[in-house]
Structure 1
Amino acid sequence: MVSARAAQVGPQILVASNRGPVSYAFEADGSLTPRRGGGGLVSGLSAIGSEADTLWVCSALGDGDREAVRRGVGEAGVRMLDIEASVHAAAYNGIANSVLWFVHHMLYQTPLEPVFDAEFRREWGAYEAYNRAFAAALAEEAAEGASVMVQDYHLALVPGMLRELRPDLRIGHFSHTPWAPPEYFRMLPDDVARQLLRGMLGADRLGFLTHRWADAFTRCCEDAVGGLGTTRVGVHGLGADAEFLRRRAHEPDVDERLVALREQIGAGRKTIVRVDRTELSKNIVRGLLAYRQLLLDHPEWRERVVHVAFAYPSRQDLAVYRDYTAEVARTAEEINSTFGTPGWTPVILHVKDDFARSLAAYRLADVALVNPIRDGMNLVAKEVPVVSDEGCALVLSREAGAWEELREDAVCVNPYDVMGTAAGLFAALSMSPGERSDRSKRLAAAATALPPQRWFLDQLGALREA
């Protein structure tokens, strides 16, 4: 049944995600300052246009956000939900990031984990409550027949919950992560696995970044709940925003950081660049070990190449991520102490997030290393060829979603094989300038085939057709 609110004028396009397009920070005088978010989803929503009747429903993520909700501070087109902090923590850290992320990225050390005990059930109840709050807000806000686009694994139950509240709506869900194959997904308790799948199948249409992830979801449904029912599945490989990246990469702050990086690297040296969060799936430690192996196998490259590694801290409230961040730093230091000379630092490691510095590294990259053990897409693999000044070679894991689109012109590697990755780095460094430039141009063309605006509008159009 359509609610009384929906019979009135309401938004015709709604987006729901854990993180919204704006956050709030306290100033010294107690006032709140809004900060605009970035990323493909924010860029994609901008494609609808400022005149469109839209609403973005998101969660208050910190004290500034919660205070903004309490004070009635907000921005047009955004509804921020002040869900109890303990519920959000249990749903976000306990389930979304410590269970669902680990399942879809196949990260568990299975002799010891996971353990689905009473604490898991308590956190699962919080995850249900978190999703229910989003479903209720969307049901309250949406105009009759509106299109609702729900984002990612944090909100996997929302489509089914919203369908029960508002059967008149067009509901879509997009997964920005990989999807686990049935044999790994089956690790979840049976009732939880079925609840997740049925929650997503409440949507009219589901979107995935690659055919591989879409096929894995379909097989899980066939295995656990008897198929997809009437839900349609589509693939939309999010591309890089070339216009924004190229413009932003030549602004003064990027130029300043480019000068500083070149001084650190030293004249005449090649660069291997990686830019990642210290997320377990990004495989930063094995990437460093592969670089170490390159220096062992090919001593002629010593003092001629520098590995510029940006590893920005992620999820540091979880112990396993803090430990991993420390191991990244330890491995980089070990390489520098073993191979470094007074005039050459083999690894330049930065751990403080700095987008302008990342773009500067993109520009000077001779080789980009993107070697995740599993990744929904990985936009870095698409961004570096777009921004690189002289063209770069891409060493790319076959487990990255981007591999599906970029494999023809990348140097593809098995992310677990340190020796093979070292050989891939050597091949990339040894590539002739002409071949590197030609490959980089083709990579950039493939990487920008579906920019964020087109990616969003394509999904919206497919949902309306469904």
Structure 2
Amino acid sequence: MASTHGAHRILVASNRGPITYEVHEDGSLHARRGGGGLVSGLSAIGPDADALWVCSALGAGDREAVRRGVGETGVRMLDIDAEVHADAYNGIANSVLWFVHHMLYQTPLEPVFGVEFRRQWASYEAYNRAFAEALADEAAQRAVVIVQDYHLCLVPGMLRELRPDLRIGHFSHTPWAPEEYFRMLPDDIRAQLVWGMLGADRLGFLTWRWASAFMRCAGEVDRERIFPTSPSGDPRRSVEHSPTGRPPLRTTQIGVHGLGADAEFLRARSHESDVDQRMAVLRAEIGEGRKAIVRVDRTELSKNIVRGLLAYRQLLEDHPEWRERVVHVAFAYPSRQDLAVYRDYTAEVQRAADDINSQYGTPGWTPVILHVKDDFARSLAAYRLADVALVNPIRDGMNLVAKEVPVVSDEGCALVLSREAGAYEELGEDAVVVNPYDVIGTARALHEALSMPLGERAERTKRLAAAATALPPAQWFLEQLRELEV
């Protein structure tokens, strides 16, 4: 255990922090601030809360900022060796854990857990250890630490060994794999991940589906030392565990916090002048009197963009009356382009869109408007004018787009929603629900959504917006904090 303690009472740990740095040609450093639920949450607790955000330096600008001692109050950026970070982040977090939890492997050929995997796993351990040591050094006695996501699954266990006095939480923003898929990982790695998570006093998930999956995986990993409990009629769930399998047992509480949309921010931002300008451009691209099916995604494998395009193609084939009367506005923003499988997927999205435009397009009508350059103002413009929002992921922890569109929509928007999105648990009753693998079924759902009477569409949108904003980001964070401070 560390011999001295830091001064911070509330600590957050995540791979990406609230700020990134760029080095300009003249050598000057320029900071760019981000947003999101954690930023809102930490803002909500006020400047006098002795809070610290521990994050990783992600690029050359961040590393240079650390070297120069440039930083922001309330943020500690860790300059972890670039190769270690690359192995941990791309090699393990994004190419193994993400694939396991989203069930993305083509199992006849992958995964292969050989020597290279073990080398990268050692980097994942080192990366998590760097976070644990920094948190142990910075935290005051009995401080609260909330660790974020699959990048840092080992931190709670490592931190517990260093600082048993701390109140430790971990929140998973992804799904959790079912036990038969989680079993794909080598046995010792499965155990290490589960025991790492169980170092926390409390584990948070986006839905009970993902929380229950973790509990089943934990129990299956070690039936003699890990005991999931779900009392009948009691919403409280927990996992009791002991290295020996005998008393005294430690208890890790399990909780669910369905992160919602930030209505106040979205409604204000979506009516700024740059959004109005982009709406005018989009309306011109779509054409007078046509309906718009909108999707906004990263070109992430789990988002299912290609099948969405194929479903739209099927709609045009099965219902020729929609030709020249509807446009699919598809924003597919680049993601993880340093990984070949993501570059290939992005190219496939482009090919699918080009094929539809080639087969069905006319001189006055482009069936698919595809944009691949990230533009938040343009996304908000599309939200506002969408007649139908298509959100059809293969598997998604939540999917905030499904929650944001009803909040921003000007005249009501029908939501076509995958039953495999975490948002389905809250929004499914008022959405048109689809099996994400069923292209014909999704085409039928698009037809139903396009044909929905305006009054019904508006009423559904109101209910969707209310459900989508039930737990806004600041409240989402504060709720977890309160649970750990008891």
Output the TM-score relative to the length of structure 1: 0.98
2:383 corresponds in structure 1 to: 362
Q: How far apart, CA to CA, are the structure 1 residues paired with 2:168 and 2:62?
A: 27
Q: Does 1:65 align with 2:62?
A: yes
Alpha-carbon RMSD across the aligned residues, in angstroms, is 0.7
Q: How far apart, CA to CA, are the structure 2 residues paired with 1:325 and 1:267?
A: 30
* Pairing 1:297-308 to 2, within 5 Å after superposition: 297-308=318-329
Helix, strand or coil: the match of 2:415? strand
Amino acid at match of 2:4: A
Amino acid at match of 2:406: P
Of 81, 93, 116, which residue of structure 2 is paired with 1:96? 93
Shift of 1:51: 2.2
**Contact 2:42/2:51 (<8 A) preserved:** no
Q: How far apart, CA to CA, are the structure 2 residues paired with 1:109 and 1:257?
A: 39
Helix, strand or coil: the match of 1:307? strand
Of 32, 51, 56, which residue of structure 2 is paired with 1:54? 51
Helix, strand or coil: the match of 2:140? coil
2:473 corresponds in structure 1 to: 452
- Structure 1 stretch 340-349 or stretch 225-234: which is displaced more? 225-234
**Contact 1:2/1:144 (<8 A) preserved:** no
Q: How far apart, CA to CA, are the structure 2 residues paired with 1:448 and 1:98?
A: 32
Q: Does 1:149 align with 2:170?
A: no
Amino acid at match of 2:377: A
* Pairing 1:37-436 to 2, within 5 Å after superposition: 37-225=34-222, 226-227=226-227, 228-229=239-240, 230-436=251-457
Stretches (4+) displaced over 4 A: none
Shift of 1:2: 5.5
Shift of 1:357: 0.4
Shift of 1:28: 2.3
Q: How far apart, CA to CA, are the structure 2 residues paired with 1:274 and 1:238?
A: 20
2:21 corresponds in structure 1 to: 24
Amino acid at match of 1:215: S
2:4 corresponds in structure 1 to: 4
Q: How far apart, CA to CA, are the structure 1 residues paired with 2:35 and 2:102?
A: 24
Q: How far apart, CA to CA, are the structure 1 residues paired with 2:42 and 2:78?
A: 19
Count residues in correspondence. 462
Amino acid at match of 1:318: L
Shift of 1:3: 2.9
Shift of 1:39: 1.8
Amino acid at match of 2:105: Y
Helix, strand or coil: the match of 1:207? strand
Shift of 1:50: 2.0
2:33 corresponds in structure 1 to: 36
Q: How far apart, CA to CA, are the structure 2 residues paired with 1:280 and 1:464?
A: 38
Amino acid at match of 1:248: R
Helix, strand or coil: the match of 1:144? strand
**Contact 1:139/1:162 (<8 A) preserved:** yes
Amino acid at match of 1:3: S
Q: How far apart, CA to CA, are the structure 1 residues paired with 2:84 and 2:21?
A: 20
Q: How far apart, CA to CA, are the structure 1 residues paired with 2:330 and 2:40?
A: 27
Q: How far apart, CA to CA, are the structure 2 residues paired with 1:41 and 1:419?
A: 39
1:416-447: CA deviation from partner (whole Å, max 9, x where unpaired): 00000000000000000000000000000000
Shift of 1:164: 0.2
1:306-362: CA deviation from partner (whole Å, max 9, x where unpaired): 000000010000000000000000000000000000100000000000000000000
Q: How far apart, CA to CA, are the structure 2 residues paired with 1:42 and 1:105?
A: 26
2:230 corresponds in structure 1 to: none
1:127-157: CA deviation from partner (whole Å, max 9, x where unpaired): 0000000000000000000000000000000
Identity %: 80
Q: How far apart, CA to CA, are the structure 1 residues paired with 2:424 and 2:184?
A: 27
Shift of 1:44: 2.1
Q: How far apart, CA to CA, are the structure 2 residues paired with 1:326 and 1:30?
A: 35
Output the TM-score relative to the length of structure 2: 0.94
- Structure 1 stretch 47-56 or stretch 99-108: which is displaced more? 47-56
**Contact 1:57/1:134 (<8 A) preserved:** yes
Shift of 1:5: 3.0
Q: How far apart, CA to CA, are the structure 2 residues paired with 1:395 and 1:4?
A: 54
Q: How far apart, CA to CA, are the structure 2 residues paired with 1:298 and 1:3?
A: 71
Helix, strand or coil: the match of 2:260? coil
Q: How far apart, CA to CA, are the structure 1 residues paired with 2:453 and 2:3?
A: 64
**Contact 2:5/2:141 (<8 A) preserved:** no
**Contact 1:373/1:400 (<8 A) preserved:** yes
For structure 2, the 5+ residue unaligned runs are 228-238, 241-250
Q: How far apart, CA to CA, are the structure 1 residues paired with 2:337 and 2:72?
A: 29
Shift of 1:45: 2.0
**Contact 1:3/1:140 (<8 A) preserved:** no
Amino acid at match of 2:263: A
Helix, strand or coil: the match of 1:359? helix
Helix, strand or coil: the match of 1:51? coil
1:438 corresponds in structure 2 to: 459
**Contact 1:2/1:168 (<8 A) preserved:** no
